[in-house]
């Protein structure tokens, strides 16, 4: 469904490209984790996927069509950012924000859809008129998800979706993502530093280093036997999985 072919991006005055020759493919219902140390090019890559950044070379297609940001059109690739506290307009009600991608619908349909979406992500729909400041971080990330889902995305792109949240609510958000994905069937790309997140969400993993792909394999295979020394080092810094986290997709390995 999503095809990324040999994509590169170099910023002015950088000695090397931020992303260099990345190729990947993603099918519906699958989750790809993008991992790598700080500065590896993870955010640059996903920003290109959602059209916030233009690649210098290479192509990005969805069902064979080039992915472009067209003004006035709701993108089939929706992005969820790290920090839910600044993702929503503080002056508007959360219902207004969730309704943003529903511009083409009638007023009544929009209101109904906002209620349905808030319910879907586990936020009390009667609170649609409240401003973001009266919600917790976990609730805000649920509302951000509701807004992304309003666009009926084919691909949900999440850049560190839980790292700004309390540990106690991280697992809830991961569980929610898993449930929504199985109900709605979208594909997911998740950028994370947290290998616990990889274990829970990812079917496949792409490891980036200095803008280049070090390895790209199933999560099971990668956790069982990382091919690259760089990946082994990344896995060594994995924090222990706290109890109460969702059952991992990839089996637990080691102690
Ligand atoms: N707008 C920009 N202008 C110039 N250089 C940039 C810009 N954005 C990113 N870079 C550089 O590109 C490289 C990759 O950055 P990127 O943000 O993609 O890394 P990352 O893997 O997301 O890191 P982190 O884990 O810290 O978020 C870094 O060297 C960064 O300094
Ligand atoms: Mg980043």
The larger pLDDT score, comparing residue 91 to residue 81, is at 91
49 Cα to the center of ligand 1, angstroms: 15
* C-alpha distances out from residue 19 to 5, 10, 61, 105, 213, Å: 12, 7, 17, 38, 9
Q: Which percentage of the chain shows pLDDT scores above 90?
A: 72
Atom of ligand 1 nearest to the CA of 13: 4
**DSSP tag of 248:** P
- Whether ligand 1 lies within 6 angstroms of the CB of 17 is answered as no
Please report, for the chain, how many H helices and E strands are present, in that order. 8, 10
* Cα 42 to ligand 1 centroid, rounded to whole Å: 8
Q: Single out the residue of 98, 102, 5, 97 nearest to residue 48, CA to CA.
A: 5
Across 5-28, average pLDDT: 95
Q: pLDDT band at 67, cuts 50/70/90?
A: confident
Please state which of the four CATH numbers 1.10.10.10, 3.40.50.300, 3.10.450.50, 3.30.565.10 is assigned to the domain occupying 1-76+154-255.
3.40.50.300
pLDDT computed for residue 185 by the predictor: 95
Q: pLDDT for 207-236, tens place per residue? A: 999 999 999 999 999 988 888 888 888 888
- Ligand 1 atom having least distance to the Cα of 43: 22
Confidence of residue 195 (pLDDT cuts 50, 70, 90): confident
- What pLDDT shows up at residue 132? 97
Q: Is the pLDDT of residue 253 over 60?
A: no
**Is-contact 137 85, C-beta < 8 A?**
yes
* pLDDT of 186 over the 70 cut: yes
Contacts of 106 (CB under 8 A, 6+ apart): none
Across the range 34-62, mean pLDDT stands at 93
Q: Which residues contact 220 (CB under 8 A, 6 or more apart)?
A: 250, 251
pLDDT (0 to 100) of residue 238:
60
DSSP string, 127-145: GTTS-GGGS-HHHHHHHHH
Is residue 72 very low, low, confident or very high in pLDDT (cuts 50, 70, 90)? Answer: low
Beta strands at 57-62 and 65-66: parallel, antiparallel or unpaired: antiparallel
Residue 234 or residue 178, greater confidence: 178
Residue having the nearest C-alpha atom to atom 6 of ligand 1? 11
Residue 233: partners with Cβ closer than 8 Å, 6 or more residues away: none
In terms of residues, how long is the chain?
A: 255
Q: Is 170 in the pocket of ligand 1 (CB under 6 A)?
A: no
Domain boundaries along the sequence of the chain = 1-76+154-255, 89-152
Closest ligand 1 atom, CA of 40?
21
Mean pLDDT of 179-201: 93
Collapsing DSSP to helix, strand or coil, 229 comes out as helix
Does 147 sit in the ligand 1 pocket, CB within 6 Å?
A: no
Question: In degrees rounded to 5, what are phi and psi of residue 196?
Answer: -65, -40
pLDDT band (50, 70, 90) for residue 252: very low
Asked whether the beta carbons of 29 and 185 are under 8 A apart, the reply is yes
Residue 196 has a pLDDT of 87
pLDDT at 1 over 60: yes
């Amino acid at each position: 469904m999503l095809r990324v072919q040999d994509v590169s991006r170099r910023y002015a005055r950088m000695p090397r490209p931020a992303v260099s020759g990345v190729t990947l493919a993603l099918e519906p219902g699958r989750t790809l984790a993008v991992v790598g140390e700080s500065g590896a090019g993870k955010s640059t890559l996903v920003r290109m996927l959602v059209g916030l950044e233009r690649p210098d070379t290479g192509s990005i297609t969805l069902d064979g069509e080039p992915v472009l940001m067209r003004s006035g059109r709701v993108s089939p690739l929706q992005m969820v950012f790290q920090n839910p506290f600044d993702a929503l307009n503080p002056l508007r009600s959360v219902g207004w924000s969730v309704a943003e991608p529903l511009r083409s619908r009638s007023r009544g349909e929009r209101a109904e859809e906002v209620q349905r979406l808030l319910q879907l992500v586990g936020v009390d729909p009667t609170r649609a008129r409240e401003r973001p400041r009266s919600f917790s971080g976990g609730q805000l990330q649920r509302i951000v998800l509701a807004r992304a889902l309003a666009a009926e995305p084919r691909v949900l792109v999440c850049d560190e979706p839980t790292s700004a949240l309390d540990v106690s609510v991280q697992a809830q958000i991961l569980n929610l993502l898993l449930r929504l994905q199985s109900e709605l069937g979208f594909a997911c790309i998740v950028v994370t530093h947290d290998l616990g997140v990889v274990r829970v969400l990812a079917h496949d993993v792409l490891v980036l280093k200095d803008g280049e792909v070090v390895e790209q394999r199933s999560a099971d295979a990668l956790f069982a036997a990382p091919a690259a020394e760089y990946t082994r080092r990344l896995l060594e810094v994995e924090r222990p999985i706290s109890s109460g986290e969702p059952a991992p997709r990839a089996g637990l390995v080691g102690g």
